[in-house]
């Protein structure tokens, strides 16, 4: 048995949490803060790259004790060990789940070392101009052709780290919409463009359709032999890649123990590596590795991903919240929520448990959001005065990258003010106009990093990966398959054949 198979609702802690919730339902955070002067200090955690203030949640120390007991009763420690030790925890597909091995600099697999070396050599050749196009000109543009995890992760990281980018222009083609492809191609010159086709099987309908269209466009101006200089692949289907015209030395391997939505750390991140350089790409991996170490070695009460996962379960299953908002207060993370939606909702959007039984409790919430302060002039109205309870993560960088201190002061003030406004509302004020009354008592987490860097971003992403793992492990579901993706594909194929 790779993972425990314990229905969380059968545990003693679940029953106690249900009783405790009845008492907590009417307790306000305003009261908790008024009576617990050290609440923020007691409910804050930190690594050297990421810190978490979870004091603005509808919990007490007793709530935390019960949630941690739930983690213990469902044997979360066994699940964590099983993942890191390479057990086949993706049992429905008979696979290991080892994306953490892609960044384990203490005991890196030889095949990972070799692939990283290949990524390093190739990206450096493209960046320094020694890898040339068919007319002898250096590459100026990179186009990543993929979908899902082969697009969302790399596109998000490339955008997030654009402060660190070099002279190369990087584009992403994902949607099978022909207009999307054509708009990108209009911006490009075949002789100076490199295409990276990312598909594990090299059969993904959207990716291969887009890749074929791009190939035809390219061959309108270049010969077949030029494909070898302008197309590379990230795939396991070597024969299909070779048939496309891509050289073996320009084919980067993937492994079945890395799921698509957790693959940006692998050669799937080649476009990112070309954009920011190998040294920065390695720092991204090392930042993630630091969070891996924190996650697998810290006590549950001091473990940032564990606390985040437990809070999510608390709200989803006891307060019956259906969504979670994520608000990064940096425009660099404009693609972050899209990435996180896949990581969370494709992983934990399940209704059958690890025993094969239908689930009678709640699993994955809807994850949504946008960058602050944009959100403040849009949907945050609903968070403040709507009828839905929506737990919210605020992500904030303490310092900006370009040094615009006035802008940063305003940004930080707005972020902190929103967390305080959700907490306090107009509590204690004499509000005569009911339309201007704010109840407050709305939960939020504040996630802080000193400055957005490859290393801090890596740690932030790994934190959310592990949070998602914690939720799935405790809720007794398989987080690493995605059969829900397949049905629509099959029906689309039927439509095409009819």
CATH number, residue 331 = 3.40.50.10490
Domain shared by 209 and 334, yes or no: no
CA distance 209 to 198: 12
CA distance 82 to 356: 20
Domain shared by 474 and 382, yes or no: yes
Average pLDDT over residues 346-368: 97
User: In this predicted model, what pLDDT tens digit does every residue of 317-340 receive, in sequence order?
Assistant: 999 999 999 999 999 999 999 999
Closest CA to 461 of 122, 169, 149: 149
What's the structural domain count of the chain? Answer: 2
Closest CA to 89 of 28, 1, 159, 172: 1
Range of the domain at 193: 105-281
User: In this predicted model, what pLDDT tens digit does every residue of 111-129 receive, in sequence order?
Assistant: 999 999 999 999 999 999 9
Token couple for 208: 């291969």
Q: Is the pLDDT of residue 491 over 90?
A: no
Domain shared by 115 and 61, yes or no: no
Residue after which a domain boundary falls, among 218, 252, 281 = 281
Domain shared by 70 and 136, yes or no: no
Domain shared by 311 and 392, yes or no: yes
Confidence at residue 497, expressed as pLDDT on a 0 to 100 scale: 85
Query: Please, which pLDDT band fits residue 494 given cuts at 50, 70 and 90?
Result: confident
The maximal CA–CA distance of the chain, rounded, in angstroms, is 77
Domain shared by 265 and 315, yes or no: no
Q: Tell me which of 152 and 201 has the higher pLDDT.
A: 152
User: In this predicted model, what pLDDT tens digit does every residue of 412-432 receive, in sequence order?
Assistant: 999 999 999 999 999 999 999
Tokens 């002789």 belong to 191
**Residue 170 · residue 275 · CB < 8 Å:** yes
Domain shared by 76 and 142, yes or no: no
**Residue 452 · residue 328 · CB < 8 Å:** no
Residue 448, helix vs strand vs coil: strand
Residue after which a domain boundary falls, among 249, 281, 313 = 281
Q: Tell me which of 492 and 228 has the higher pLDDT.
A: 228
Domain shared by 326 and 446, yes or no: yes
Domain shared by 157 and 177, yes or no: yes
Catalytic residues: 346, 377, 489
pTM attached to this predicted model: 0.97
CA distance 150 to 205: 13
Average pLDDT over residues 289-301: 98
Confidence at residue 496, expressed as pLDDT on a 0 to 100 scale: 85
The average confidence (pLDDT) of the chain is: 97
Confidence at residue 488, expressed as pLDDT on a 0 to 100 scale: 83
Token couple for 147: 């979908």
Confidence at residue 492, expressed as pLDDT on a 0 to 100 scale: 85
User: In this predicted model, what pLDDT tens digit does every residue of 37-95 receive, in sequence order?
Assistant: 999 999 999 999 999 999 999 999 999 999 999 999 999 999 999 999 999 999 999 99
Token couple for 355: 């025993």
In this structure, is residue 3 part of a structural domain? no
Q: Is the pLDDT of residue 1 over 70?
A: no
Domain shared by 389 and 316, yes or no: yes
User: In this predicted model, what pLDDT tens digit does every residue of 212-266 receive, in sequence order?
Assistant: 999 999 999 999 999 999 999 999 999 999 999 999 999 999 999 999 999 999 9
Q: Is the pLDDT of residue 154 over 90?
A: yes
Domain shared by 121 and 85, yes or no: no
Q: Is the pLDDT of residue 404 over 80?
A: yes
Average pLDDT over residues 456-474: 98
Token couple for 362: 């709640």
């Amino acid at each position: 048995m790779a993972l425990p198979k314990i229905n969380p609702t059968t545990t003693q802690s679940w029953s106690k949490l249900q009783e405790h919730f009845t008492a907590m339902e009417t307790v306000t955070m305003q009261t908790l803060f008024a009576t617990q002067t050290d609440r923020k200090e007691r409910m804050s955690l930190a690594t050297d790259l990421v810190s978490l203030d979870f004091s603005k949640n509808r919990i007490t120390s007793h709530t935390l004790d019960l949630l941690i007991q739930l983690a213990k009763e469902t044997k979360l420690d066994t699940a964590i060990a099983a993942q890191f030790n390479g057990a086949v925890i993706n049992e429905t597909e008979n696979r290991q789940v080892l994306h953490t091995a892609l960044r384990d600099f203490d005991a890196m697999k030889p095949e990972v070392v070799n692939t990283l070396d290949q990524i390093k050599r190739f990206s450096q050749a493209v960046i320094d101009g020694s890898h040339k196009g068919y007319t002898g000109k250096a590459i100026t543009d990179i186009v990543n052709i993929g979908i899902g995890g082969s697009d969302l992760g790399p596109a998000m990281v490339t955008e997030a780290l654009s402060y660190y980018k070099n002279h190369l222009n990087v584009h992403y083609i994902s949607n099978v919409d022909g207009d999307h492809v054509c708009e990108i191609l209009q911006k490009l010159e075949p002789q100076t463009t490199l295409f990276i086709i990312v598909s594990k099987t090299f059969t993904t309908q959207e990716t291969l359709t887009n890749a074929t269209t791009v190939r035809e466009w390219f061959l309108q101006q270049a010969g077949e032999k030029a494909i070898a200089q302008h197309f590379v692949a990230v795939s396991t289907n070597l024969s299909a890649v070779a048939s496309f015209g891509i050289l073996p030395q320009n084919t980067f391997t993937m492994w079945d123990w890395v799921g698509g939505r957790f693959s940006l750390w692998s050669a799937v991140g080649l476009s990112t590596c070309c954009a920011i350089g190998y040294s920065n790409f390695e720092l991204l991996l090392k930042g993630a590795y630091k969070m891996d170490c924190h996650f697998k070695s810290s006590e549950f009460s001091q473990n940032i991903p564990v606390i985040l996962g437990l809070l999510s379960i608390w709200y989803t299953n006891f307060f019956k919240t259906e969504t979670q908002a994520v608000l990064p207060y940096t425009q660099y993370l404009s693609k972050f929520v899209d990435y996180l939606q896949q990581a969370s909702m494709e992983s934990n959007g399940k209704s059958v448990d690890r025993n094969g039984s239908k689930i009678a409790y709640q699993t994955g919430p809807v994850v949504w959001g946008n960058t602050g302060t944009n959100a403040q002039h849009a949907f945050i109205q609903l968070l403040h005065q709507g009828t839905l309870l929506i737990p919210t993560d605020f992500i904030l960088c303490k310092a900006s990258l370009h040094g615009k201190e006035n802008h940063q002061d305003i940004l930080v003030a707005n972020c902190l003010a929103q967390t305080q406004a959700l907490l306090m509302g107009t509590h204690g004020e004499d509000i005569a106009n009911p339309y201007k009354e704010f109840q407050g008592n709305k939960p939020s987490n504040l996630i802080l990093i000193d400055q957005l860097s490859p290393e801090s971003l890596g740690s932030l992403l790994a934190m959310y990966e592990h949070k998602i793992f914690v939720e799935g492990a405790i809720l007794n579901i398989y987080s690493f398959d995605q059969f829900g993706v397949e049905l629509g594909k099959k029906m689309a194929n039927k439509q095409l054949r009819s």
